[in-house]
Amino acid sequence: MGSASREALAKARASLQGRLSKTAGSELLEAADRIAQAPALVAVLGDASATTESKTQLVERLFGSLSAGARGVLVAAVTEAWSNTDEFVAGVEELGLRAEALTNAELPEELLAVADLVDRSHELQLSLGSKLIEAEGKVSLVQRLLAGKASASAISVVSHLAANPRGRRLDVALRQAARVAADQEGFELATVTVAAPLSAEQQERLARLLQQSAGRPVKVTTVIEPDLLGGVRIQLADDIIDGSVRARLDDLRQQLAA
């Protein structure tokens, strides 16, 4: 995001501290979808030169069915100056994700689990990423897939991301959404990939080191991948530390091929 959008998002996030209903997150995600699909609407609501009063009135008129809390968050978003309209839409979506996280402490882990499920299934990747399948079809597939296996808030988020890719791969969007949800709850997510399970002592030491690096609590998800052969690969936020044997072998092959 541009600097103006980062500042706008930071200010709009303050509105999440108010009293929100349990449906506020899904309402904001639906609002982001509705805005994104109406170029004229996104142009007006994302226009930094438009008056606060005019944009507030437009929100009240077009989104009057939203709960008071969700409508208040949306008003807070439209009254800020964003770098561009794409980042404005992304900002409303992020506010929706953060609102969902406030009602479901397990949301980050649930989204990571779905991302892993999509990663492991080529069929799912094709179906949920296909441009030939309508949004309704993707939402129906997500609901059938996760019914009874995930919370309503997680299904809402996955459905939204599947129906509104905006150029993103679903697994990537899910992992980013998980990081946003974790950030809202005050911690970082780390994915540690190893060739064999870590001992309890190793897990505790690794979590402690990652927390020191991040400067705040870190929840570690361990993935077993025998193909790594040995070593460890760590992803913390956007940083990847690959100390696996496979990575070193790949580097050696590239050097020999040069």
DSSP-derived letter for residue 222 is E
Please compute the mean of the pLDDT values over residues 113-127 and round it to a whole number: 88
pTM of the predicted model as reported, rounded to 2 decimal places: 0.82
pLDDT > 80? residue 66:
yes
pLDDT at 257: 66
Domain spanning 187-257, CATH class: alpha beta
Distances (CA, A) of 126 to 33, 84, 121: 22, 31, 9
Distances (CA, A) of 227 to 99, 141, 159, 232, 239: 38, 31, 32, 11, 21
pLDDT, tens digit (0-9, with 9 covering 90-100), for 176-233? 999 999 999 998 888 888 888 888 888 888 888 888 888 888 888 888 888 777 777 8
Would you say 27 and 68 are in contact if contact means Cβ atoms under 8 Å apart?
Answer: no
pLDDT > 60? residue 146:
yes
pLDDT at 256: 56
pLDDT, tens digit (0-9, with 9 covering 90-100), for 223-254? 888 877 777 788 876 677 776 666 665 665 66
Residues with Cβ within 8 Å of 238's Cβ and at least 6 positions away in sequence, in order, are none
Domain residue spans of the chain? 3-103, 107-183, 187-257
